[in-house]
Structures are given as structure tokens and as C-alpha cells.
């Protein structure tokens, strides 16, 4: 069974991720993985920590002579900022360490401290931090390399930040990569940047909407036979596991909910060259829990991050007295970064269902099975 397991704290010495059941024979490009980590760090509105960290991976197992071996792959990413936190993050008992007791609204602070019985919220916030997503991004990069062997490409773009929405899509995917906010509308992006600057000056934060698209996904990934195998359900869980993501749409779901069925469902056509095809994609590439051959389109609603320079009202968990929430170094807006993280999560989910469908031991064998399947689908059987 393909699975990902991460470990590490935000200001610990390093984070690690194990990728289990990655097929043997996949070419591993470390430069590609490191570039994915850089993409996660970029985006206007990111905080000061991104100037400290220079994320890159080290591979310790599962890869030999540039190819996966089929054994579990272990990747690590060093936290350069750990040098500033050695005493507070010591694994051994220290004489004095300042406990965090002012729980931040919107974080795991209070719920986590009560659940695990901790009187120092740092034990909670270090693991609950979005810093963990650097490890998912690294794992997702391996999954992207695998999916690219079958022509599947994944990208993201910003749809909205705060109250400012994209009005026109002028930039293509390559130009979006060089955009400061991963935005296809230059005019909207200019206004978004102004809004981020405005909120940064007053110590507040902004949310928004990002869209993730997977192109060239074959028909038949996922299944309707059990609830936990439905592709849209798997995608929903993966996306909602990303810190700050509070809503998921497959296709234009909110818009679809206000329309008549005759205007929503994608009609089916057939010809000798194309086989079965659609002229629209309002289902977002998934019907009945199964990919239908159209691009998979996922939109995420991202809340403003809850760590604020202008802290909200809270209660000290030790004294039970009113106070201001704990201040931590933070971003103003993470929407573009969430897009990159969500690309990784979509890649992980698609790799999982792909291996479930076509086998997982050897890339060579998977390609053989995939070729036979594609031939059958092309014949309409």
C-alpha cells in the first residue's frame, strides 16, 4: 500500500518523510524536488522565515544510482532556523524555558494542549505548524515524477485573495510560474499585492482561493464500490489536511448547486478518432468517484492564517486570565504557497489510486499494464 509518513517539528533540527511502496525503476531528479521546495517558499506575502530557510532534500534510502529501488524512500529537510531555537527545542531537560500559555484563536493550540495534557503550547504548535508541509511537498515531487511518466501534469493558480477575484485569464501556466502570486490576471494581481501590503502594515492576514488542475488523467482512477475509495473523497480529505484550507470544490461545485441539472452535467460524445469525449467539464474530471478522462479541477477556500502581529483576545491556559494571543513570526498571505502544497497532495492521491489500479512493484510492469488498459479504453470496451 502506497503511503506517506512525516516526522519533525517546525523549529526542530530537521523534518523527515518516508515514502513507502514507490515503484522501482523511477528516475529520481533531486534538482526537481528542490525546485518544488523553492516554489513552496515563494509568493508575495510570505514571512521572514522564508529568508532564513533554504530548503533542500537529502535522500537516505530507497534510491540507488539515480533510481528508486522499491524500498521505502527516506527524505530529510534541515531547518536552518533551529540554530535560533536550540534551547527551546532541546530533547533534554533544560534549566529554564519560556512556556507558551496564550492560546491563539484559529490554531490547534487550545484543543491540542487539552487533548494531550500539555501545559506548554509549544509542544502543540511545533508539530501543528504548516512547516510540516515542506515534507509533503518533497514527497509530492516524487509522485509528480512518477505521474509524468504517464503524461499527467499538475499545476495551480490563484483565483482570489481577500475580496479581489481574477477577472480574466491572460497568462498561461508557464507565465503563472513567474508571477508573484501565481495569478493569471496581471491587473488583479496588482490589486492583490496592494491589499497584502495594506494588511501587512496593520498586522492582519488574508485568505483566498486557489485552483489545482491535473491534466491528462486517464479514465478509471478511484472507485464507487466503497466510500473510502471514491477519488473525490480521497482528494477532499487530502486537501482539508493542509493547514488553513477550510473548503474544497471539485469543479465549479458552488455554481453548479444553483443551476438546473440540464445545465450542469457534461454531455457525452463519441467519434472514431477521439473515442468518448466531453465538450464541457463541470464535473471537474470526476463522476461517481472515478476519474472520467477530463482534467481534474479542485478549488480550495483558504482562511486567513491565525497567527497575527496584532493578536486577538484569548485566555492564558495556566492562569485562566484574559490576555493577548501568542505572537509567532508569520506570513500575511499563504494562498500561492497553499497552491503548491495542494499540487503535491493531489499528486500523492493520484499516485495512490494509480498504483492501486495498475500495480506498484516496478515502473516497467506498470507501464506494460497501463498500455494494455489504454488500448482497451481506446476500443471502447
What residue ranges do the domains of the chain occupy? 3-378
Is 127 annotated for ligand binding? Answer: yes
Contact present, 332 and 205 (Cβ < 8 Å): yes
In angstroms, the CA 341 to CA 179 distance is: 17
| Neighbouring C-alpha atoms within 13 Å toward the C-beta of 353 | 25
pLDDT at residue 296 in the model: 98
pLDDT at residue 174 in the model: 82
User: What are the φ/ψ torsions at residue 14 (nearest 5 degrees)?
Assistant: -165, 165
- The chain-wide mean pLDDT, for the chain, equals 94
Is 40 annotated for ligand binding? Answer: yes
What's the DSSP call for residue 140?
Answer: H
Is 171 annotated for ligand binding? Answer: no
Residue scoring higher pLDDT (368 or 92)? 368
pLDDT at residue 49 in the model: 57
pLDDT value at 364 more than 90: yes
Question: Strands 63-64, 67-68: parallel, antiparallel or unpaired by DSSP?
Answer: antiparallel
Is 238 annotated for ligand binding? Answer: no
Contacts of 100 (CB under 8 A, 6+ apart): 109, 120, 121, 122, 125, 326
Q: CATH number of the domain at 3-378, please? A: 3.60.150.10
In angstroms, the CA 109 to CA 101 distance is: 9
Is 128 annotated for ligand binding? Answer: yes
Where would I find the H helices in 42-172?
49-52, 109-116, 122-128, 133-148
Where would I find the H helices in 120-170?
122-128, 133-148
pLDDT value at 366 more than 90: yes
Range list of β-strands (E), the chain: 3-7, 14-20, 57-61, 63-64, 67-68, 73-78, 153-161, 164-165, 208-215, 245-250, 268-271, 275-278, 286-287, 290-291, 296-302, 313-315, 322-324
List pLDDT tens digits, range 268-284.
Answer: 999 888 889 999 999 99
Contact present, 256 and 264 (Cβ < 8 Å): yes
pLDDT value at 357 more than 90: yes
pLDDT value at 31 more than 90: yes
In angstroms, the CA 367 to CA 355 distance is: 11
Cell numbers at residue 157, please? 493558480
Is 153 annotated for ligand binding? Answer: no
Instruction: Choose from 72-76, 89-93, 96-100 the range with maximum mean pLDDT.
Output: 72-76
In angstroms, the CA 357 to CA 346 distance is: 16
List pLDDT tens digits, range 138-169.
Answer: 999 999 999 999 999 999 999 999 999 999 88
Report CA-CA distances (Å) from 249 to 208, 272, 291, 294. 14, 33, 15, 16
Cell numbers at residue 370, please? 497501463
pLDDT value at 328 more than 60: yes
Q: Span 355-368, mean pLDDT?
A: 97
Is 46 annotated for ligand binding? Answer: yes
List pLDDT tens digits, range 289-313.
Answer: 999 999 999 999 999 999 888 889 9
pLDDT value at 48 more than 60: no
Q: Of 43-57, 165-179, 348-362, which range is least confident?
A: 43-57
| Torsion over CA: 254, 257, 263, 266 (sign) | positive
DSSP string, 263-313: HHS--EEEETTTEEEES--TTTTEETTEEBSSPEEEEEEEPPPS--SSPPE
Is 178 annotated for ligand binding? Answer: no
pLDDT value at 66 more than 70: yes
In angstroms, the CA 102 to CA 93 distance is: 22
Is 64 annotated for ligand binding? Answer: no
Cell numbers at residue 244, please? 488553513
Contact present, 282 and 262 (Cβ < 8 Å): no
pLDDT at residue 93 in the model: 86
Is 347 annotated for ligand binding? Answer: no
Amino acid at each position: 500500500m502506497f503511503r506517506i509518513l512525516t516526522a519533525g517539528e517546525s523549529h526542530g533540527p530537521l523534518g523527515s518523510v518516508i515514502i513507502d511502496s514507490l515503484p522501482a525503476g523511477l528516475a529520481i531528479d533531486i534538482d526537481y524536488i528542490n525546485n518544488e521546495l523553492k516554489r513552496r517558499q515563494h509568493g508575495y506575502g510570505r514571512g521572514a522565515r522564508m529568508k532564513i530557510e533554504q530548503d533542500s532534500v537529502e535522500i537516505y534510502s530507497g534510491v540507488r544510482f539515480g533510481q528508486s529501488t522499491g524500498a521505502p524512500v527516506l527524505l530529510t529537510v534541515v531547518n536552518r532556523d533551529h540554530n535560533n531555537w536550540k534551547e527551546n527545542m532541546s530533547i533534554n531537560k533544560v534549566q529554564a524555558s519560556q512556556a507558551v500559555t496564550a492560546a491563539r484563536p484559529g490554531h490547534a493550540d487550545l484543543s491540542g494542549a487539552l487533548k494531550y495534557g500539555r501545559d506548554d503550547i509549544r509542544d502543540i504548535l511545533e508539530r501543528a505548524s504548516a512547516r510540516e508541509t515542506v515534507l509533503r511537498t518533497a514527497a509530492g515531487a516524487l509522485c509528480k515524477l512518477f505521474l509524468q511518466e504517464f503524461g499527467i501534469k499538475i499545476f495551480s493558480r490563484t483565483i482570489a485573495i481577500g475580496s479581489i477575484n481574477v477577472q480574466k485569464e491572460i497568462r498561461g501556466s508557464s507565465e503563472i510560474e513567474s508571477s508573484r502570486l501565481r495569478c493569471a490576471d496581471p491587473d488583479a494581481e496588482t490589486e492583490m499585492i496592494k491589499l497584502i501590503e495594506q494588511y501587512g502594515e496593520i498586522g492582519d492576514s488574508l485568505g483566498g482561493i486557489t485552483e489545482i488542475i491535473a491534466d491528462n488523467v486517464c479514465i478509471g482512477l478511484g472507485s464507487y464500490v466503497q466510500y473510502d475509495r471514491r477519488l473525490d473523497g480521497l482528494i477532499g480529505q487530502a486537501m482539508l489536511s493542509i493547514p488553513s484550507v477550510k473548503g474544497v470544490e471539485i469543479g465549479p461545485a458552488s455554481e453548479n448547486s444553483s443551476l438546473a441539472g440540464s445545465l450542469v452535467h457534461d454531455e457525452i460524445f463519441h467519434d472514431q478518432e477521439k473515442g468518448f469525449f466531453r465538450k464541457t467539464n463541470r464535473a471537474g474530471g470526476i463522476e461517481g468517484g472515478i476519474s472520467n478522462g477530463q482534467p481534474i479541477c479542485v478549488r480550495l477556500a483558504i482562511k486567513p492564517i491565525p497567527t497575527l502581529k496584532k493578536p486577538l483576545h484569548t485566555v492564558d491556559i495556566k492562569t485562566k486570565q484574559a490576555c493577548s494571543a501568542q505572537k509567532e513570526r508569520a506570513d500575511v498571505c499563504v494562498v500561492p504557497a497553499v497552491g503548491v502544497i495542494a499540487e503535491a497532495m493531489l499528486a500523492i492521491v493520484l499516485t495512490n489510486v494509480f498504483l492501486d489500479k495498475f500495480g506498484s512493484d516496478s515502473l516497467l510492469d506498470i507501464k506494460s499494464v497501463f498500455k494494455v488498459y489504454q488500448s482497451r479504453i481506446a476500443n471502447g470496451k
